[in-house]
Structure 1
Amino acid sequence: METVDIAIETEEIQLDQFLKWAGVVSSGGEVRALLEQRLIRRNGETESARRRKLHVGDRIEIDGMGAWRVTGGPQ
């Protein structure tokens, strides 16, 4: 599965905000549903926290949807 790089302009970003920023979901409710179904993994581990802080280098994968890596950060 190809990983798409998504640049952020801050030091960290919450998981739900990242997925909205990347255009993966349109609402926090969608993120909640994906978490409840245990479909989201962060760096290979199943994620359970919608507001988990992500940092540059973190990789998010959603079963059946794709994979994204946090890039960028403050300049």
Structure 2
Amino acid sequence: MKTVDFELDREFIELNQLLKLAGICDSGGAGKQLVAEGLVTVDGAPESRKTAKIRVGQVVVCEGLRIRVKAV
């Protein structure tokens, strides 16, 4: 599984926006669809909240990509 580090420059980012900015999908709407289909986990647990607040230290997995959220 490929891993990328995402540098977060604020308190949190909404899950659908993280998926977009990490390059998994082309839009926030497409990110919401991935979450709705049950294809996203946060810290190893399935996540169903499309706009869940993702913070530094969390790990999101979707479509074979692991996103580690780090501080700037």
Same fold by TM-score greater than 0.5? yes
- Superposition deviation, residue 27 in structure 1: 1.1
Spell out structure 1 runs of 4+ moving beyond 6 A.
Answer: none
Of residues 64-73 and 42-51 in structure 1, the stretch that sits farther from structure 2 once superposed is 64-73
Q: Secondary structure at the match of 1:23?
A: coil
CA RMSD of aligned residues (A): 1.4
Task: Number of aligned residue pairs: give it.
Answer: 72
Q: Cα deviation per residue 1:39-71 (whole Å; 9 max; x = unaligned)?
A: 100000001011100110110001x43110111
Structure-2 residue corresponding to 1:55: 55
Give the residue type in structure 1 aligned to 2:6: I
Give the residue type in structure 1 aligned to 2:25: V
Q: Which runs of 5+ in 1 are unaligned?
A: none
Of residues 44-53 and 17-26 in structure 1, the stretch that sits farther from structure 2 once superposed is 17-26
- Superposition deviation, residue 8 in structure 1: 1.4
TM-score by length of 1: 0.83
Whose Rg is larger?
A: 1
Cα distance in 1 between the residues matched to 2:29 and 2:13: 18
